[in-house]
């Protein structure tokens, strides 16, 4: 395993510059238009597919980068370009990772290619987990999957919400309850193939930010899928449920240890969201810096004023600190080192809070101009709000960190 380094290697630098070029030349010129349209930017996704940026192969290469920095580097550059368009490009990865993590080799080979399509016919996929009454509280999930043994089919009913690409996806990956008595341990994931009867798009959300990314409810009404659409297969599910029932017989302390082990697994995905936040924060900082150097008041650039210069100094310091937390957690995950202090949640918490703060400061530096849509910092500030909400709110991150550090079941 490579030692941790603050310096990207030559291959990583080449990839970073390639992504940066796409973000600068293709994404940024189109960002304001697609934000106003509040529609999926299919032409931009197609351009990404043509050069190989929207493909399973590319993201697999970055995911298996032995330094762990491939994914955060990619996310930072794309979200530096534009958060809404970037989420439209990377959103399919949520569903793909769900299949890669839980599916059989046959399921991976069958369904993941269908999630992306090709440069001439791009597709997207959706990962559907959250529900109207079950966001962070996954134990309250109500979507049910019942096995019809006579037909070897699963029947799904329920409503999912906040689903990126929900309803417009070629393939949906849906998390559902298969054993209500086991709470969050009684869940399983299912592939819903294209055109399956009973799946429909519910409400499409009109959002404050990341408006180029499609977010909607997904309604499942007697959706029937073949038995082999259960990720991992039924024998594996039956074995896992049996183990979970045995764990329920453990002492309360033992059960809490099992719960914390599961929580640690979720930690591994959070640095990627932190990297998205770093990208948006960096973009706003760069806009503010350039503006402060060229905007003159009272006969001199406003950066000559300590009040502005010190804000920019703080902004850059916070961005660099956030990136270092993200890189540390990403490297630890790739090295197989446990997050003994909830380092994954730390990176996501600090980076997301930094994005909100830095984009707000950027607006302040630009003054009235920053408050208009003529300048991109207004959009960046709206986009930044999501980072403290999705993939676990800032409050949930603090709870995870506090529980990890104290070993106590803090409520």
Q: What is the C-alpha to C-alpha distance for residues 206 and 283, in angstroms, rounded to an integer?
A: 24
Catalytic annotation present for 391: yes
Burial class (CB in 10 A: 0-12, 13-18, 19+), 106: exposed
List helix spans (H) across 5-129: 10-22, 28-37, 42-50, 56-63, 70-81, 83-90, 92-102, 105-116
Neighbouring C-beta atoms of residue 36, cutoff 10 Å = 12
194, 240 in Cβ contact below 8 A? no
What is the Cβ-side half-sphere exposure of residue 209, based on CA atoms within 13 angstroms?
23
Of 47, 267, 378, 391, which residue is the catalytic one? 391
220, 198 in Cβ contact below 8 A? yes
Q: What is the C-alpha to C-alpha distance for residues 403 and 130, in angstroms, rounded to an integer?
A: 23
Q: Which residues contact 381 (CB under 8 A, 6 or more apart)?
A: 284, 356, 359, 360, 362, 363
State the Rg of the chain over Cα: 22
Q: Could you give the residue numbers annotated as active site?
A: 391
């Amino acid at each position: 395993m490579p030692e941790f380094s603050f310096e990207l290697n030559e291959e990583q630098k080449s990839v970073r510059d390639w992504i940066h070029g796409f973000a600068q030349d293709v994404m940024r010129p189109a960002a304001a238009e697609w934000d106003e349209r509040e529609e999926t930017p299919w032409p931009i996704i197609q351009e990404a597919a043509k050069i190989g940026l929207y493909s399973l192969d590319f993201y697999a290469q970055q995911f298996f980068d032995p330094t762990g920095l491939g994914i955060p580097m990619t996310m930072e550059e794309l979200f530096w370009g534009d958060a809404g368009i970037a989420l439209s490009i990377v959103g399919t990865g949520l569903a793909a990772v769900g299949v890669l993590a839980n599916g059989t080799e046959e399921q991976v080979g069958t369904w993941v290619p269908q999630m992306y399509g090709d440069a001439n016919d791009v597709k997207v996929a959706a990962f559907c987990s959250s529900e109207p009454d079950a966001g962070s509280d996954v134990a309250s999930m109500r979507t049910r999957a019942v096995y019809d043994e006579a037909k070897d089919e699963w029947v799904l009913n329920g409503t999912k919400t906040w689903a990126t690409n929900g309803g417009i996806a070629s393939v949906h990956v849906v998390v559902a309850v298969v054993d209500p008595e086991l709470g969050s341990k009684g869940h399983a994931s299912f592939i819903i193939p294209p055109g399956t009867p009973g799946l429909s798009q519910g409400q499409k959300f009109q959002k404050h930010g990341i408006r180029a990314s499609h977010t909607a409810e997904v309604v499942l009404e007697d959706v029937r899928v073949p038995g082999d659409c259960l990720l991992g297969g039924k024998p594996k599910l039956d074995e896992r449920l049996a183990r979970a029932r045995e764990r329920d017989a453990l002492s309360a302390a033992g059960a809490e240890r099992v719960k914390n082990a599961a929580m640690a697994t979720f930690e591994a995905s959070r640095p990627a969201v932190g990297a998205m936040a770093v990208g948006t924060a960096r973009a706003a900082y760069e806009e503010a810096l350039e503006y402060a150097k060229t905007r003159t008041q009272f006969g001199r650039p406003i950066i000559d004023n300590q009040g502005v210069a010190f804000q920019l100094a703080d902004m850059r310091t916070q961005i660099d600190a956030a990136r270092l937390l993200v890189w540390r957690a990403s490297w630890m995950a790739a090295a197989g080192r446990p997050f003994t202090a909830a380092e994954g949640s730390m990176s996501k918490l600090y980076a997301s809070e930094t994005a909100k703060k830095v984009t707000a400061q950027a607006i302040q530096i630009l003054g009235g101009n920053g408050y208009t849509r003529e300048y991109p910092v207004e959009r960046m500030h709206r986009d930044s709000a999501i980072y403290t909400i999705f993939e676990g709110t800032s409050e949930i991150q603090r709870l995870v960190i506090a529980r990890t550090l104290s070993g106590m079941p803090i409520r």
